[in-house]
Structure 1
Amino acid sequence: MEAAGTGGVRVGRLGLLLEQFDQAREMAGVRLTGLGDEEYLWEPVPGCWSIRRREEATTPRAFGPGEWVLDLGAPDIPASEYAEVARQAADGMTVAKIAEDWSVSVARVEEVLTHTGAPEPDRTPVTTIAWRLAHLHVQFAGGWEWTFGARRQDPKLAVDFNPSAASALASFWPVVDRWRDSVAGVTEEQLDTVGFSQYPYGSAPDDPFFGVLSGSNLEFIHHMAEIALLRDLYRTGFGS
């Protein structure tokens, strides 16, 4: 359970993570106020990833349970994750397991582990506000299901993507808040439990839950920062 120190300031590992998340959640809510459909789906450059009608999808692994799907390309390890892969290997994770988690070949993992010098620049596509929100929605819905829920539903089928910004946000925030409220009840023992989360995409089953929470906060913060920048560019007429 979270603990509070003098003056109501949270203390301890869980308290600090909740404090960080709550502040990020508050700022994100303010920054997303007034989001309209055109801005939500705005593609600032050619070749963006977004949400699209199933018959219009161009990426090889686009997914979703309904008419609208979320773009997803061929699996790879981006350069920004090379250091994480090296840490996984140093911590004793086998090359085969790393390859399974990243959905890449063993040869690709070995290539990353033997890479020297500065990583080459990432070439991942620019993603729309709709894509970033949908990506977070999938992670929070799937994260809750595979940590606190029945651990049955495939996260890729958990979210019915929506081209309406208002509808997407109306379903997104309750999922985020459900995750946060469940996390607030985690014990110190559960924080240290490896595999407390069994989220099937990534390394969560092999990590202590404290690490999973830290990563979840980072994911939320960095995608919301990207969304805020896209809103700034849209407001100033970038590319027009």
Structure 2
Amino acid sequence: MADQGVRTDRLGLLLEQFDQAREMAQVRLTGLGDEEYLWEPVADCWSLRRRGEAVTPRAYGPGEWVLDKGAPDIPASEYAEVARQAAGGMPVSKIAEDWSVSVERVGEVLAFTGTPEPDRTPVTTIAWRLAHLHSCFAGQWEWTFGERRRDPRLLVDFTPRAGLALEAFWATIDRWREDVASVTDEQLDTVGFSQYPYGSDPDDPFIAVVAGSGLEFIHHMAEIALLRDLWRARFPGRG
């Protein structure tokens, strides 16, 4: 395969995976209309809503439309990650800051034994998933390659128009990918090369941040693809 120009270095493999996922995602999102974009398949979905109509306490965004966001907590699926953070020497106060919870809540998680109950997470619309991804990638770019000062929650002006949302989303994704491709091996190994404040980026080598952002992209795009399948099954013939 080497004579066909396939990269086998660690960054090359992650970029190749990201490129393939992006190509598949763009195909799957072709033809997305406004109604499907905002479709709420069950009651009590999280979505984009006009400011003042949000159903969650921490909905955010800079403009007329905001993205639902609930009260902070550590989901059960992340209890093991919190334990790893503590075992690696991260102070409880820093863990609490990373997860936006109290020190007492971190203590409860660290003291927990047994198997946690599955998380009860809200069903989210295509608009929510796409906006969430857009916000994350915009924030990571700002706090890695940008000025490292702007609030990540205010970087994306959310829109109820699917076409406009996708156009802006792909531009953000491609900017991130282009700048990631330019980093050196030394930068890949640098802890804190990304200072994105909502997560563990400041405490991780950048190669781990790149891998994590790719995983975030892939899993949310898989969810969006499933919602598109459900929409077509529920409303055959509707664009």
Pairwise same-fold verdict (TM > 0.5): yes
CA distance in 2, matches of 1:95, 1:58: 31
Query: Are residue 150 (structure 1) and residue 147 (structure 2) matched?
Result: yes
Query: Are residue 138 (structure 1) and residue 135 (structure 2) matched?
Result: yes
Aligned residue identity for 1:144: W
Aligned residue identity for 2:179: S
| Number of the residue aligned with 1:26 | 23
Gapped regions of structure 2 (runs ≥ 5):
none
Q: Number of matched residues?
A: 235
CA distance in 2, matches of 1:236, 1:87: 42
Query: Are residue 110 (structure 1) and residue 110 (structure 2) matched?
Result: no
Question: In structure 1, which of residues 66, 69, 74 is the aligned counterpart of residue 66 of structure 2?
Answer: 69
Query: Are residue 223 (structure 1) and residue 200 (structure 2) matched?
Result: no
| Number of the residue aligned with 2:13 | 16
Deviations 1:67-106 (A, max 9, x none): 0000000000111111211111121111110100000011
Query: Are residue 181 (structure 1) and residue 178 (structure 2) matched?
Result: yes
SS in 2 for 1:11: coil
CA distance in 2, matches of 1:135, 1:5: 37
Shift of 1:167: 0.6
CA distance in 1, matches of 2:191, 2:175: 22
Query: Are residue 203 (structure 1) and residue 200 (structure 2) matched?
Result: yes
CA distance in 1, matches of 2:207, 2:11: 8
Aligned residue identity for 1:9: V
SS in 1 for 2:52: helix
CA distance in 2, matches of 1:68, 1:13: 39
Query: Are residue 213 (structure 1) and residue 221 (structure 2) matched?
Result: no
Aligned residue identity for 1:153: R
CA distance in 2, matches of 1:64, 1:56: 13
Gapped regions of structure 1 (runs ≥ 5):
none
Deviations 1:8-54 (A, max 9, x none): 11111101110111111111101101101111001111111000000
Query: Are residue 82 (structure 1) and residue 79 (structure 2) matched?
Result: yes
Question: In structure 2, which of residues 32, 40, 43 is the aligned counterpart of residue 43 of structure 1?
Answer: 40
CA distance in 2, matches of 1:144, 1:12: 23
Aligned residue identity for 1:193: T
Structure 1 residues 6-15 or 133-142, which shifts more? 6-15
Q: How does the TM-score come out when normalised to structure 1?
A: 0.95
Q: How does the TM-score come out when normalised to structure 2?
A: 0.96
Aligned residue identity for 2:189: D
CA distance in 1, matches of 2:2, 2:208: 23
Shift of 1:6: 2.9
CA distance in 2, matches of 1:14, 1:119: 35
Aligned residue identity for 2:31: G
Shift of 1:112: 1.2
Question: In structure 1, which of residues 99, 112, 124 is the aligned counterpart of residue 96 of structure 2?
Answer: 99
SS in 2 for 1:236: helix
Aligned residue identity for 1:171: A
Shift of 1:152: 1.6
CA distance in 1, matches of 2:197, 2:2: 36
